[in-house]
Chains A and B, each alone.
Chain A
Amino acid sequence: MSTAVALKPTQRLTGFMPLIALAALVAALTIADPDFLTQRSLIAVARTAAPLIVLAAGATLVVLCGGIDLSIAALASLSTVFLALWLPDLGGLATPAVILVAATIGAVQGVAHVLLRIPSFIVTLGGMSILSAVALVVSGAGTVRVVDDSTVRWLDLYLAGYVPMSAAMAIIVVALIAVVLKVTPLRSWISATGYSESAARLAGTPVDLVKIGAFCVSGACAGLAAVMLVSRQFSGGPTMADNLLLPAVAAIVVGGTAITGGHGSVWRSLAGALVVTLLRVGLPIVGVPSAYEQILYGAIIVVAVALTLDRSKVSTVK
């Protein structure tokens, strides 16, 4: 039964919940360690969060369509390898080339999902292993150093001396996706696909294309995240971004996007990514011991999701 709830003020609040959670977390960390709330510290968080934001923003589209993309991190790793390998020859063109290739790989997975009718969870889980293997082989199972990083260094610089370029870039990507969704019928198509794929299809929605498109954007975002990582690490590595998978998914869900599809937004993922980043770096920095850090991370993330999820939009929580 759908539960009907009046649009009480508390309800409107759920839209801002990710931001409230973020603010609460910053406050808590500041209380734990007053040195934490410095401009430099927050700038560092923003810079740190940039690749995660981009990864999460892309994957959000897949989640909105009702699927999941578990390959983003492996794809980002592979992209760092490609970028590092291509920079010497392609120079400035390497960045668009890598993003293009990543987008293509994402689209291929989307096509496999749509045509073979395999759940996206499985396609992208398989994709994850395959991409990791390719990355290992292509890189010769080692780090590929970037000697001349002049064409990607801009991402590691600071706008006006303060705003990390990568963070600005991440926000631009989020804004771009959000605006495109807002002003075109895409938003309707994606939501319909996510809420009820069969109804969407019988209303003539290009469900397959929408899904493939979502995977494609997700791939492109993984590529861009890879560029950010390379600009930060001065190298590419076959497992470089692998550990960003669960944080990225966590960011999406903490933002309040329904993992079952339909409801959510990329803005929410932006807030979610900041929350997750704060938890990842903030807890150890303010001196929480490693074991307790994990326990706290687990507990806080569950509570954060409990706060941010708009239950009037999601009938059954599975």
Chain B
Amino acid sequence: MTVTSEVVNAPRRQSRRGASFRDAGPPVALIVIFLIFAALSPQFRSTDNVQNIVDAAAVLAVVTCGITFVLMMGSIDLSAAGVMGACALTVSLLVANNRNDNDFGLLGIAVAVLLGCAFGCVSGLALVLLKVPSFMATLGMSAVGLGVATLMFAGVQPNISDTMVKGLAIERFLGFSYLTWIAAVCILVGWLIQRYTRLGRYAFAIGGAEEVLLLSGVKVNPYKVAVFALAGAFYGLGGVMVTSQLGAGLVQAGDGYDFSAITAAVVGGTLLTGGRGGILHSAVGVMLVMVLTNGLVQIGVSPYWQGGVEGLIVVAAVAAAVIPQRRRNQVVK
């Protein structure tokens, strides 16, 4: 039966090679960029600074965890900024603070995360019930979140005095702040969800071929909503983390995280069209972005140029990462 073995083997050999190449791009880019900065700046390669980079990556990592699931489905989520703002205000008003007598501690954090979850849920429902593209549904939800946050802000900055929440950003364990460990746990949990739960695998499958799931009798809508809710929970946690870092609940807590998280995920190798990538890819992407931001400051690039150089390198990194997958008739949107 030489024929069958030929039939079976030939394509498999091909695609394995492709797969290994494909995933190697971003980590290689990360290492290369790290080495370049390390060569250019002694401070950059100091242990302190590496710790600092990792610590600084914590919030972005958590937010990116959330957005990764949405991107895997082929949807997009721009609600991070608003959801984080609303959750930041929520948590700062629920733990010990200067605005009211609340002191709910962990419960406050849980409520904030749940609120994030609820926001995500609403985005998801708008997507599946009203059939509004996620781009718009989440953009709208972001505005709603900011509005809710502004309502809660009511003119006076809520400063938190809860030592536990503040401690998350200050206390350290094995050289890294608690927030960093929280982010690490999020990545682990995210990875487990992605690999071992129906939710994670279906999110992946929805990005791969949604119509096939329907043909197989899978009701995808609940999973879509759940993915947005999960992402919202991650944003909520991100909002809590920012609050802990800043010691105050800011409406702007999530400013810029939406686009940075998408950038990080894409740089890490998650496709905007869905169906490829994952939490570990995104973790690499987050590190890439953080190394860049930090490195540019360390080597002393003028603040005027930093954004531009960063944009250029991100584009270059993605370009380099896609080289192994380049085909003539490839669809790139």
Q: What does the 1/0 interface line of B303-327 toward A look like (CB < 8 Å)?
A: 0111111111011001100100110
Asked if A7 is an interface residue, CB under 8 A from chain B, the answer is: no
Asked if B332 is an interface residue, CB under 8 A from chain A, the answer is: yes
Q: What does the 1/0 interface line of B91-125 toward A look like (CB < 8 Å)?
A: 00000000000000000000000000000000000
A-B contacts, 19 listed (Cβ < 8 Å): A114-B332, A117-B332, A122-B263, A126-B314, A127-B311, A129-B308, A132-B308, A202-B329, A259-B133, A259-B136, A291-B150, A294-B146, A294-B150, A295-B148, A298-B145, A302-B136, A303-B130, A317-B132, A318-B274
> How many angstroms between the C-alpha atoms of A123 and B144 in the bound complex?
29
The stretch among A28-36, A92-100, A133-141 that forms the contact with chain B is A133-141
The stretch among B15-23, B165-173, B209-217 that forms the contact with chain A is B209-217
Q: What does the 1/0 interface line of A180-203 toward B look like (CB < 8 Å)?
A: 000000000000000001100110
| Nearest neighbor of B251 in chain A, beta-carbon distance | A291
Chain A nearest CB from B315 CB (Å) reads 4
Asked if A253 is an interface residue, CB under 8 A from chain B, the answer is: yes
> How many angstroms between the C-alpha atoms of A128 and B312 in the bound complex?
10
Q: What does the 1/0 interface line of A255-285 toward B look like (CB < 8 Å)?
A: 0001111000000000000000000000000
Chain A nearest CB from B230 CB (Å) reads 17
Closest 7 CB pairs of A and B: A133-B308, A129-B311, A298-B143, A294-B147, A295-B147, A126-B315, A298-B144
Chain B nearest CB from A107 CB (Å) reads 16
B322 CB contact (under 8 Å) in A116, A249, A259, A294: A116
> How many angstroms between the C-alpha atoms of A130 and B227 in the bound complex?
33
B322, A118: Cβ atoms under 8 Å?
yes
Q: Between A and B, how many residue pairs show CB distances below 8 Å?
A: 171
Residues of B within 8 A of A305 (CB): 130, 132-133, 136-137
Chain B residues proximal to chain A, CB less than 8 Å: 73-76, 82, 126-127, 130-137, 139-148, 150-151, 210-211, 214-215, 259, 262-263, 266, 271-272, 274, 304-312, 314-315, 318-319, 322, 325-326, 329-333
Asked if A66 is an interface residue, CB under 8 A from chain B, the answer is: yes
- Quick one: which of A286-315 are within 8 Å of B by CB? 290-299, 301-303, 305-306, 309, 311, 315
> How many angstroms between the C-alpha atoms of A293 and B148 in the bound complex?
10
A118, B329: Cβ atoms under 8 Å?
no
B132 CB contact (under 8 Å) in A1, A117, A249, A302: A302
Asked if A113 is an interface residue, CB under 8 A from chain B, the answer is: yes
| Nearest neighbor of A133 in chain B, beta-carbon distance | B308
Interface residues on A, range: 35 or more
Residues of B within 8 A of A121 (CB): 262, 266, 272, 333
Chain A residues proximal to chain B, CB less than 8 Å: 1, 66-67, 112-114, 116-123, 125-134, 136-137, 141, 197-198, 201-202, 246, 249-250, 253-254, 258-261, 290-299, 301-303, 305-306, 309, 311, 315-318
> How many angstroms between the C-alpha atoms of A131 and B143 in the bound complex?
26
Residues of B within 8 A of A290 (CB): 150
Chain B nearest CB from A186 CB (Å) reads 19
Residues of B within 8 A of A259 (CB): 133, 135-136
| Nearest neighbor of A238 in chain B, beta-carbon distance | B304
Residues of B within 8 A of A294 (CB): 143-144, 146-147, 150
> How many angstroms between the C-alpha atoms of A296 and B210 in the bound complex?
32
B74 CB contact (under 8 Å) in A118, A253, A292, A318: A318
Interface centre among A123, A125, A197 (most CB of B within 10 A): A125
B75, A318: Cβ atoms under 8 Å?
yes
| Nearest neighbor of A261 in chain B, beta-carbon distance | B333
A197 CB contact (under 8 Å) in B143, B271, B309, B331: B331
B137 CB contact (under 8 Å) in A113, A297, A302: A302
B307, A133: Cβ atoms under 8 Å?
yes
Residues of B within 8 A of A295 (CB): 143-144, 147-148
A122, B210: Cβ atoms under 8 Å?
no
B142 CB contact (under 8 Å) in A122, A261, A298: A298
A301, B140: Cβ atoms under 8 Å?
yes
